[in-house]
Amino acid sequence: MKSIDNSRPHSVFFISDYTDLGSAETIRKILHEATILGLLEKAGHGIYIKPKISRFGNVPIPLEKIAREIAERDKSEILPTGSTAANLIGLSTQVPMNLSYITTGSTRSIKIGERKISFRHASPKNFAVKGRVIPLLIQGIREIGENNVSGAAYEAIRLFIDRQQDPYLHEDLHLAPVWIQKIIKKVMPQ
């Protein structure tokens, strides 16, 4: 309880964080008690969050934070895919209700309230890059499809590359499929 009290709002807790203090069932009961006292909220199976309260009420935790915490706990890498990646790049203005990631860990879905985080195990080749821009561009461009890359999409890709300032951009580009390389090269700084 002391670690919960001393933690920051939106801290994520897992039952596995405390297994050195007792059995999983004992820890589950203590975390459940903390939810009854209002110190924690249960976000999903074995996942608890310290609430963040503003003057307008409870501030929901970003699902991205939960996904990163799960990856850290599992000692795996994750990379946004699909509509999640397209939104982060600016290729889509729709904010996805459910987040999707590829991972070096196991394939699974985690329900957080009415939303879902999906992890799909992917080949290590997807994580063989040094930077973070090219893999995200690959996933986002793949989501919208080759035939849907227009002037607005090229501009979104160019702005994303400019904002990220990735020193490995040129080095990582060869790992992208050829059709995606052609799209990126049209807007990439020389």
Q: In this structure, what CATH number is given to the domain that contains residue 42? A: 1.10.10
Give the up-direction half-sphere exposure of residue 136: CA atoms within 13 A in the CB hemisphere: 21
Confidence of residue 64 (pLDDT cuts 50, 70, 90): very high
Q: Examine the domain organization and report whether 45 and 82 are in the same domain.
A: no
Q: Examine the domain organization and report whether 109 and 139 are in the same domain.
A: yes
Q: Examine the domain organization and report whether 123 and 31 are in the same domain.
A: no
Q: What is the pLDDT of residue 118?
A: 95
pLDDT tens sequence across 85-132: 999 999 988 888 999 999 999 999 998 888 899 999 998 888 989 998
- Of 38, 59, 80, which residue constitutes the final position of a domain? 59
- Of 18, 37, 59, which residue constitutes the final position of a domain? 59
Nearest Cα residue to 140 out of 78, 178, 98, 90: 90
* DSSP 8-state assignment for residue 186: H
Q: What is the domain count for the chain?
A: 2
pLDDT tens sequence across 8-46: 999 999 999 998 888 989 999 999 999 999 999 998 888
pLDDT above 80 for 84: yes
What phi and psi, each to the nearest 5 degrees, are found at residue 55? -70, -15
Give the up-direction half-sphere exposure of residue 156: CA atoms within 13 A in the CB hemisphere: 20
User: What percent of the chain lies above the pLDDT cut of 70?
Assistant: 100
Q: Examine the domain organization and report whether 101 and 10 are in the same domain.
A: no
Full domain range(s) for residue 108: 63-187
Cα angle: 53, vertex 58, 59; to 5 degrees: 85
The residue whose two tokens read 């909220």 is 41
Range 146-155 contact pairs with CB under 8 angstroms and sequence separation of 24 or more = 146/179, 146/183, 149/183, 153/91, 154/183, 154/186, 154/187, 155/187
| pTM (2 d.p.) | 0.84
- Contact indicator for 119, 109 with CB cutoff of 8 Å: yes
